[in-house]
Amino acid sequence: MPNAPRRGKPGWGDGVKDNGRPHIFGPVPSRRLGRSLGVDPIPFKTCCYDCVYCQLGRTTNLTGERKAYVAATTLIGELEAWLARDETADYITLSGSGEPTLSTEIGEVIAWAQAHTQIPVAVLTNGGLLWRADVRWQVAKADLLIPSLDAATEDVFRRVNRPAPGLELAEVINGLVAARSECRGQIWLEVMLVAGLNDSDEHLRALRDAIDRIGPQRVQVNTVVRPGAEPIAQAVSQDVLDRARQLLGPSAEVVVPRSEHPGSYAPTSGVRDVLALLHRRPCTLGDVADGLGLHLNEVAKHMEALLERSAVRAVVEAGTTYYAAADELPESSPE
Ligand code: SF4
């Protein structure tokens, strides 16, 4: 699940506290989902993968254990309070700061949201647990499932996604195939390309074979936008993205940065607040979340928009990524 912010220290890291934090955030602007209300059922960086490109940093709790990390009653209570304010969104999206399908509560939350709102429900997942029938049963009623598949060989899987012990790619792909036939809604498969790791023609052709077995309605080709967990995670070029779109078949599309669509993204007060703070001092994502009282994922979305517009720059110091307003950095600052 390639969409979440960075932390490096134990617990909430970067100075952010989990105590009493909300589990819903936004709505935040999303390339694919419009205004998306995030529902985060998982503690920070609790995930069955440790992707080299993860914008949240390295996984601190690498696990395949499913449990009620946050109770369904808590998540539903927050959704209820949000709805009571007459708020609306294009999607309610189970996502967040880890892998949402590790939560045993998501089926109940999906069912509640569908019974109490007209807003479609999406699940953003790394897909690593879809081999489990109980996970598929819980996500099957979602209106939209967006799983990831970055690897077609076990070797690439281990180098890019660094899965929890026991997870094997063949099983993951079988789970995606089963999900396609069991899920009520559409499946949009995301492929995150990392330069030099999974972008060769040979690997893309192998991915195409897996995609043909799965049969998703859409394949969305993406690449690294924000600094990832490891410096090795670098973006591929536009030429490689275009080549991948050709090789991955007729359902493939490149996820085009919003910056190429002027006017399709309206800066919210949140994004302006983030920029104002960064004009005062460089901050980590956690600093911004703490300083503005926002969820990390919301900050990450705003930062993505600002990076795409070159309004901010990322600087890595002693392994920690700081963001600063672009005009305050010397030309030689590393990114
Ligand atoms: S699946 Fe990968 S990108 Fe998504 S939260 Fe886990 S480690 Fe990060």
| Per-residue pLDDT in tens (0 to 9) along the chain, 335 residues | 544 433 332 222 232 334 456 888 888 878 789 889 999 999 888 999 999 999 888 899 999 999 999 999 999 999 999 999 888 899 999 997 899 999 999 999 999 999 999 999 999 999 999 999 999 999 999 999 999 999 999 999 999 999 999 999 999 999 999 999 999 999 999 999 999 999 999 999 999 999 999 999 999 999 987 777 888 999 999 999 999 999 999 999 998 654 443 334 444 567 878 887 887 778 888 888 777 777 777 788 788 878 877 888 888 776 778 888 876 444 433 33
Ligand 1 midpoint to CA 86 (Å)? 32
Pure H helices in 145-232: 154-160, 169-182, 201-214
**Does the beta carbon of 128 lie inside 6 Å of ligand 1?**
no
Mean of the per-residue pLDDT values of the chain: 85
Contact (Cβ atoms closer than 8 angstroms) between residue 324 and residue 282: yes
Residues 6+ apart with CB under 8 A from 109: 39, 41, 72, 75, 76, 79, 94
Ligand 1 midpoint to CA 96 (Å)? 10
What pLDDT was estimated at residue 212? 97
Which of 199, 231, 249 shows the shortest CA–CA distance to 316?
Answer: 231
CA distance 250 to 152: 18
Work out which ligand 1 atom sits closest to the CA atom of 98.
5
Residue 116 tokens read as: 């109490």
CA distance 280 to 313: 14
Ligand 1 midpoint to CA 127 (Å)? 10
Amino acid at 114: Q
In this structure, the dihedral spanned by the alpha carbons of residues 288, 25, 314 and 49, taken in order and rounded to 10 degrees, is 120
CA distance 136 to 59: 24
CA distance 81 to 78: 5
DSSP tag of 148:
B
Ligand 1 midpoint to CA 147 (Å)? 11
**Does the beta carbon of 40 lie inside 6 Å of ligand 1?**
no
Ligand 1 midpoint to CA 167 (Å)? 14
Amino acid at 39: V
**Does the beta carbon of 164 lie inside 6 Å of ligand 1?**
no
Ligand 1 midpoint to CA 278 (Å)? 26
Local structure of 9: helix, strand or coil: coil
Residues 6+ apart with CB under 8 A from 21: 295
Q: Which of 50, 53, 99 to mutate to test the pocket of ligand 1 (most atoms within 8 A of CB)?
A: 99
Ligand 1 midpoint to CA 277 (Å)? 27
**Does the beta carbon of 50 lie inside 6 Å of ligand 1?**
yes
Which of 72, 267, 283 shows the shortest CA–CA distance to 292?
Answer: 283
**Does the beta carbon of 46 lie inside 6 Å of ligand 1?**
no
Work out which ligand 1 atom sits closest to the CA atom of 47.
6
Rounded to two decimals, the pTM is 0.80
Question: Which residues are 221's β-sheet partners?
Answer: 191, 254
CA distance 105 to 98: 14
In this structure, the dihedral spanned by the alpha carbons of residues 194, 250, 183 and 150, taken in order and rounded to 10 degrees, is -10
What pLDDT was estimated at residue 275? 83
**Does the beta carbon of 47 lie inside 6 Å of ligand 1?**
yes
Question: Which residues are 146's β-sheet partners?
Answer: 124
Contact (Cβ atoms closer than 8 angstroms) between residue 125 and residue 145: yes
Question: Which residues are 320's β-sheet partners?
Answer: 317
**How many CB atoms are closer than 10 A to CB 220?**
21
**Does the beta carbon of 59 lie inside 6 Å of ligand 1?**
yes
Pure H helices in 197-247: 201-214, 238-247
Instruction: Name the residue with the closest Cα to ligand 1, atom 5.
Output: 98
CA distance 214 to 61: 29
Instruction: Name the residue with the closest Cα to ligand 1, atom 1.
Output: 1
Q: Pairing relation of β-strands 24-30 and 34-39?
A: antiparallel
